[in-house]
Structure 1
Amino acid sequence: MSTSTTQRGRRLPAGRKAALAAYVAENGQVTVADLAEHFSVSIDTVRRDLDQLHREGALVRTHGGAVSTIEGGLRDRGLDVRLRVQVEEKEKIARLAAEMVDDGAVIMLNAGTTALAVARALRGHRDLTIATNNLRIPAEIAPTAFRDLYLFGGAVRTITQATTGPVAFTMSAGGPEVDIRSDLAFVAVGAIDASGYSTSNLGDATMMAEMMERAERTVILADSSKLGRRLFAQVTPLEGADYLITDAPPPGDLAAALAAANVTVLTP
């Protein structure tokens, strides 16, 4: 056994976890098998370490591994990576969101993998009118769930597979803008703190804010890894939404701020 391997094997768990977090940050995305081999520990040990580091916010746990939360974090990673992150949590959020939708309702959905989960959770609904900038939703939602499905135009962001730009439709090229309204806007955001809801892209923030302005009620979607964080572009202050659906209760200071803003928090 080499000296380096012996030192790794004798490293205290706290030291190993710190080194593991640094390794994930350096590589961006890793698998459990890679980590077990690199640190000469068992698969079960790596999984326990990853679970704890995820709870501490040092990384984001995925099925089969982990991804880094620094240097842009998940907001700059492709949709294929995001689809493997917080999968179970997003499904729980999606089921709660779907319960809020009545058959025949008009809803808006923005980009993001949580919104995709909501689209899939609507498979039992009927006669919905859906407007979205999410280019994946037409392929994800059950054809029996909707009567009409509209896609907002604009510049395409390939990393999110969505359009960004104004929330607007016209009857014909160059014609006047049609005023649109919805019963519910489901808006998946990148971060939430006491100052409000935020995302990493200015164009996305503008589109989210417009969706919220055109809805009777706004439902923010965010898994617990996004709570207590802030990103580049603010979408709206906390009071701009009616509901927050997340997978775990927010921490005390954020919970107090949400309550003061009259935001109803829904968790599984």
Structure 2
Amino acid sequence: MTSQELQRVRQLPAGRKADLAAYVDEVGRVTVADLAAHFNVSIDTIRRDLDQLDRENVLIRTHGGAVSIAERAGRDREIDVRLSMQTAEKEAIAQLAVDLVADGSVLMINAGTTSLAVTRALRNHRNLTIATNNLRIPAEISSTVFRDLYMFGGAVRTLTQATTGPVTLGMSGSTPEMDIRCDMALIAVGAVDASGYSTSNLGDAAMMAEMISRAERTAILADSTKLDRRLFAQIIPLEGADYLITDRAPSTELAAALDAAGVTVLVPEGE
């Protein structure tokens, strides 16, 4: 094929989309404006192409651009990237989660962008006690919502804006660690399959499991892109949680496993 013939093929939508998918896969993360300039087409055209490629699971659409599947699967992503992904789904999950929370409750909330969405959705609650390893929560939550807010110590993971360490709170260096309990743990996870809930980091998995062990009830938060997947470190088996809150009904196989484990699945109306 001559260079002119190749150029004509690449002007066809299918050819352009194949090139676009290959480019995103190579670069890892791109903006709509960069893609429009690179392929010399309009921003609206790029948006349509990205929407279709996202539906086909070729790449992952984000607010203002896209990231490659390989980048998502291969390592933890910076929190600012994850904040732009599945935003509507996370907000829907958050609204369902806060309906389970009564004023005056004691909560443990872990790190993650879905957890941040829940934190924002708590704005009409009052007199909560919250313990978390999520470094973003103090800046995100209104002081009218909580009575007491505690941060778990440990190593700081700047990538995820979280601490990783024991689920303990000591009042001073000479005071023994206190036994702490909560009414509900709200735990955002990286994956859910028939074997249980999992995440990509061993330390995070251990911390989440300990939060869950200290809770009267546990709600697992996971958007539908995390269903029917398994990551490196298992947190707990399915029956270790009371609720799975997601944005879309699970597959038949996963739904059966959740039902057998006694997990209540909450999804938005119409889903």
Fold shared by both chains (TM-score > 0.5): yes
Describe the SS at the equivalent of 1:90.
helix
Give yes or no for contact 1:201–1:232 (8 Å, CA) kept in 2.
yes
Alignment match, 1:106: 106
Say which is worse superposed, 227-236 or 152-161, in terms of deviation.
227-236
Alignment match, 2:195: 195
Alignment match, 2:9: 7
Alignment match, 1:212: 212
Say which is worse superposed, 148-157 or 63-72, in terms of deviation.
63-72
Alignment match, 1:124: 124
Give the TM-score of the pair, scaled to structure 1: 0.92
- In 2 relative to 1, CA 17–236 (structure 1 residues): closer, same or farther, beyond 3 Å? farther
Describe the SS at the equivalent of 1:170.
coil
Alignment match, 1:70: 70
Deviation at 1:169, TM superposition (A): 1.3
Deviation at 1:75, TM superposition (A): 4.8
- Spell out the pairing of 1:60-99 with structure 2 (5 A cutoff): 60-71=60-71, 73=73, 75-99=75-99
Give the TM-score of the pair, scaled to structure 2: 0.91
Give yes or no for contact 1:75–1:190 (8 Å, CA) kept in 2.
no
Counterpart CA distance in 1 for 2:113 and 2:91 is 10
Give yes or no for contact 1:21–1:59 (8 Å, CA) kept in 2.
yes
| Cα shift readout 1:138-181 (whole Å, capped 9, x = no counterpart) | 01001100000000000000001110011011232153221111
Q: Does residue 176 of the first structure (1) align with residue 181 of the second (2)?
A: no
Say which is worse superposed, 80-89 or 154-163, in terms of deviation.
80-89
Describe the SS at the equivalent of 2:230.
coil
- In 2 relative to 1, CA 205–122 (structure 1 residues): closer, same or farther, beyond 3 Å? same
Describe the SS at the equivalent of 2:205.
helix
Describe the SS at the equivalent of 1:144.
coil
Letter in 1 for 2:206: T
| Cα shift readout 1:96-143 (whole Å, capped 9, x = no counterpart) | 111111000001100011111111111111000000000110010011
Describe the SS at the equivalent of 1:7.
helix
Alignment match, 1:243: 243
- Spell out the pairing of 1:6-25 with structure 2 (5 A cutoff): 6-10=8-12, 13=14, 15-25=15-25
Counterpart CA distance in 2 for 1:136 and 1:150 is 12
Counterpart CA distance in 1 for 2:130 and 2:79 is 21
Is there any run of 5+ residues in structure 1 with no aligned partner, and where?
none
Letter in 1 for 2:138: P
Describe the SS at the equivalent of 2:144.
helix
Describe the SS at the equivalent of 2:187.
strand
Alignment match, 1:138: 138
Aligned-residue identity in percent: 71
Alignment match, 2:154: 154
Counterpart CA distance in 2 for 1:29 and 1:176 is 47
Describe the SS at the equivalent of 2:244.
strand
Give yes or no for contact 1:119–1:140 (8 Å, CA) kept in 2.
yes
Describe the SS at the equivalent of 2:70.
coil
Give yes or no for contact 1:9–1:39 (8 Å, CA) kept in 2.
no
Counterpart CA distance in 1 for 2:26 and 2:183 is 44
Letter in 1 for 2:238: L
| Cα shift readout 1:207-234 (whole Å, capped 9, x = no counterpart) | 0000111111110111111112111111
Counterpart CA distance in 2 for 1:78 and 1:23 is 21
Is there any run of 5+ residues in structure 2 with no aligned partner, and where?
none
Counterpart CA distance in 2 for 1:20 and 1:252 is 34
CA RMSD of aligned residues (A): 1.9
Describe the SS at the equivalent of 1:70.
helix
Counterpart CA distance in 2 for 1:237 and 1:167 is 20
Counterpart CA distance in 1 for 2:124 and 2:240 is 29
Describe the SS at the equivalent of 2:172.
coil
Counterpart CA distance in 1 for 2:222 and 2:182 is 21
